[in-house]
């Protein structure tokens, strides 16, 4: 199979599916350029090899076409600064202007198409249906979008000679630009460096980890993590469960958790997880204490409390001091570390000290020779917030894609290249 390293890009136009779904502030400025920075090596590989580049991506979840708030024009200054080259903006993806600009691209030039999600065909979902639409109307609308999706994909493919998927963050979506377009390039399709490195990093952790292997899972709800917990229990030696999940586990065992986030309908699941872990010889580590607050705000009063004995009117918002020491001890004893999800409400500085302590412990373990993979949107945001991203082994750009891949699902964007 062709790879980005053995392909001859001279005189070729490469259409690259990148993941430039980055956060913007109210003025349209990029506030976290991690995903754009990650794509630069792939883009430069094509350009330095004598080819031209057509970039396509989505941004946000626009409800209508051509919503200026979600236009990719906002990110052009960031791309140009990181790439060190000018970027031509098509202004659309399907119009004659885009086709004309693609045809006229010269080696070394970069063209950016407009937000793919301005077109219903990208996701293959109808838009603009009335709330009271009948099932028959919905079915007809879906059929119409699927029919026009073929033309959408064909049009995108016509712009280029080679297709590169470098958008791991959207690889779990069977969308036009991540899965369907690859069929138009049977002998000229490949992964970019982001995709290649993501898959290698995750496979290294899941398939051939150095032991002890520790996974740290945060998040608010057990219900959203069941599959990944069960999958990881087949592989890890130790599993730290943090975040809001903690209180469901504590309550399931008879503890009181005040007004902390809790899922009573998951008590049986939580107990089953603990029993299964014991049976498999996997150590489950829960925070023995918590930072609790009387309000979900920076101005809240806070105190420490046992995680299984939180007073009424108080809620757990971070791990406590004993938990910080316990988690650090477990992290430093590991040789392979997977971290997905913060252990507290790190977006509020007052509640971020636990997540920062975990990040610092992972960095310390990495410096001592452990392999550390950070994945999931919130974990990446946290490691970036604390300025520690360059001190761990690998930071994944994928959120849902990372979780689904770890859960054992075949990702459409990966399968489309490999078939």
Q: What is the DSSP string of 355-404?
A: HHHHHHHHHHHHHTT-EEEE-SHHHHHHHHHTT-GGGSSEE---SHHHHH
Do residues 135 and 280 share a domain? no
| 87, pLDDT greater than 80 | yes
Residue 110 vs residues 230, 319, 322: alpha-carbon distances, Å: 44, 47, 53
| 40, pLDDT greater than 90 | yes
pLDDT of residue 387: 92
Band of residue 65 on the pLDDT scale cut at 50, 70, 90: confident
Do residues 173 and 35 share a domain? yes
Residue 411 inside a domain? The answer is no
| Residue 117 backbone zone (phi > 0: left; psi -120 to 50: alpha; other: beta) | alpha
Asked which of 35-49, 119-133, 346-360 is least confident by mean pLDDT, the reply is: 119-133
pLDDT of residue 146: 85
Q: Which of 165, 196, 227 is the last residue of a domain?
A: 196
pLDDT of residue 289: 98
Alpha helices, H only, 126-219: 135-158, 193-207
Residue 395 inside a domain? The answer is yes
Do residues 278 and 156 share a domain? no
Query: Which burial class, exposed, middle or buried, applies to 196 when counting CB atoms under 10 A from its CB (0-12, 13-18, 19+)?
Result: middle
Residue 3 vs residues 48, 187, 265, 418: alpha-carbon distances, Å: 16, 11, 48, 11
Residue 333 inside a domain? The answer is yes
| 312, pLDDT greater than 70 | yes
Q: Which of 173, 196, 219 is the last residue of a domain?
A: 196
Residue 338 inside a domain? The answer is yes
Do residues 176 and 62 share a domain? yes
Residue 348 inside a domain? The answer is yes
Q: pLDDT of 113-132, one tens digit each?
A: 999 999 999 998 887 777 77
Asked which of 41-50, 181-190, 223-232, 384-393 is least confident by mean pLDDT, the reply is: 223-232
Do residues 272 and 128 share a domain? no
Do residues 85 and 136 share a domain? yes
Structure-token match 């990181």, residue found: 82
Rounded Cα distance, 315 and 261, in Å? 7
Q: What is the mean pLDDT of residues 233-260?
A: 96
Band of residue 66 on the pLDDT scale cut at 50, 70, 90: confident
pLDDT of residue 403: 78
Residue 2 inside a domain? The answer is no
Structure-token match 């879906």, residue found: 142
Distance of CA 219 to the CA centre of its chain: 14
Do residues 190 and 219 share a domain? no
Rounded Cα distance, 191 and 90, in Å? 24
| 2, pLDDT greater than 80 | no
Residues serving a catalytic function are 35, 221, 377, 400
Annotated binding residues, as ranges?
19-21, 35, 58-61, 117, 173, 225, 316, 347, 376-379
- The more confidently predicted of residues 130 and 382 is 382
pLDDT of residue 408: 79
| 1, pLDDT greater than 70 | no
Tokens at residue 172, please? 């779990």
| 292, pLDDT greater than 90 | yes
CATH number of the domain residue 49 falls in: 3.40.50.1260
| 399, pLDDT greater than 80 | no
pLDDT of residue 367: 98
Q: Which of 143, 173, 196 is the last residue of a domain?
A: 196
Rounded Cα distance, 389 and 405, in Å? 22
Residue 360 vs residues 2, 8, 33, 272, 366: alpha-carbon distances, Å: 40, 43, 22, 32, 10
Residue 418 inside a domain? The answer is no
pLDDT of residue 377: 62
Q: What is the DSSP annotation of 274-330?
A: HHHHHHHTPEEEE-SEEEEESSSSTT--EEEEETTEEPTT-EEEEE-HHHHHHHHHH
Of all residues in the chain, what percent are helix, strand and coil, respectively (each to 5)?
45, 15, 40
pLDDT of residue 67: 86
Tokens at residue 147, please? 């029919």
Structural domain span for residue 44: 13-196
Annotated binding residues for ATP, as ranges?
225, 316, 347, 376-379
Do residues 285 and 245 share a domain? yes
Annotated binding residues for substrate, as ranges?
19-21, 35, 58-61, 117, 173
- Facing residues of 112 across strands? 55, 89
| 247, pLDDT greater than 80 | yes
Residue 189 inside a domain? The answer is yes
Do residues 130 and 254 share a domain? no
Do residues 285 and 401 share a domain? yes
Cβ atoms within 10 Å, residue 233 = 18
Total structural domains within the chain: 2
Residue-wise burial string across 326-339, b where 16 or more C-beta atoms lie within 10 A, e elsewhere: bbbebbeebbbbbb
Task: Please state, for a pLDDT cut of 90, what percent of the chain lies above it.
Answer: 75
Do residues 142 and 266 share a domain? no
Judge contact between 388 and 364, C-beta under 8 A: no
Tokens at residue 180, please? 């369907």
Do residues 397 and 286 share a domain? yes
- The more confidently predicted of residues 402 and 4 is 4
Mean predicted lDDT score pLDDT of the chain: 93
Q: pLDDT of 135-184, one tens digit each?
A: 888 888 888 888 889 999 999 999 999 999 999 988 988 999 999 999 99
pLDDT of residue 159: 98
Q: Considering only CA atoms, which of 258, 260, 267 is closest in space to residue 222? A: 267
Say which DSSP state 259 is in: T
Band of residue 379 on the pLDDT scale cut at 50, 70, 90: confident
């Amino acid at each position: 199979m062709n790879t980005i390293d053995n392909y001859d890009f001279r005189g070729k136009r490469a259409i690259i599916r990148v993941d430039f779904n980055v956060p913007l502030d109210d003025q349209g400025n990029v506030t976290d350029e991690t995903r754009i920075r990650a794509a630069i090596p792939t883009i430069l590989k094509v350009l330095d090899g004598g080819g031209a580049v057509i970039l396509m991506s989505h941004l946000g979840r626009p409800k209508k076409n051509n919503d200026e708030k979600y236009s990719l024009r906002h990110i052009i200054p960031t791309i140009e600064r990181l790439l060190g080259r000018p970027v031509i903006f098509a202004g659309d993806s399907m119009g004659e202007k885009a086709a004309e600009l693609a045809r006229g691209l010269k080696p070394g030039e970069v063209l950016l198409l407009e937000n793919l999600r301005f077109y219903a065909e990208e996701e293959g979902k109808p838009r603009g249906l009335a709330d009271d639409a009948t099932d028959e109307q919905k079915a007809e609308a879906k059929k119409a979008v699927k029919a026009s999706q073929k033309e959408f994909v064909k049009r995108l493919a016509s712009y280029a000679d080679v297709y590169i998927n470098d958008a791991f963050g959207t690889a779990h979506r069977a969308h036009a630009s991540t899965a369907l377009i690859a069929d138009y390039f049977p002998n000229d399709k490949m992964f970019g460096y982001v995709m290649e490195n993501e898959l290698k990093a995750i496979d290294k952790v899941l398939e051939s980890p150095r032991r002890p292997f520790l996974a740290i899972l945060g998040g608010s709800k057990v219900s959203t993590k069941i599959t990944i917990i069960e999958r990881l229990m087949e592989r890890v030696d130790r599993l730290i469960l943090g975040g809001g999940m903690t209180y469901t586990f504590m309550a399931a065992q008879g503890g009181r958790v005040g007004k902390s986030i809790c899922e009573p309908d998951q008590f049986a699941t939580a107990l089953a997880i603990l029993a299964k872990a014991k049976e498999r010889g996997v150590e489950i580590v829960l925070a023995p204490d918590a930072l609790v607050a009387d309000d979900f705000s920076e101005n809240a009063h806070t105190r420490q409390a046992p995680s299984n004995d939180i007073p009424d009117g108080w809620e757990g918002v971070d791990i406590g001091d004993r938990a910080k020491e316990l988690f650090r001890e477990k992290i430093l004893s590991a040789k392979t570390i997977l971290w997905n999800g913060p252990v507290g409400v790190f977006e509020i500085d007052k509640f971020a000290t636990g997540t920062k302590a975990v990040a610092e412990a992972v960095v310390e373990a990495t410096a001592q020779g452990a392999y550390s993979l950070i994945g999931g949107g919130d974990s990446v945001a946290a490691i970036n917030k604390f300025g520690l991203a360059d001190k761990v082994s690998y930071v994944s750009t994928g959120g849902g894609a990372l979780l689904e891949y770890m859960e054992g699902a075949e990702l459409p964007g990966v399968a489309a290249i490999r078939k």
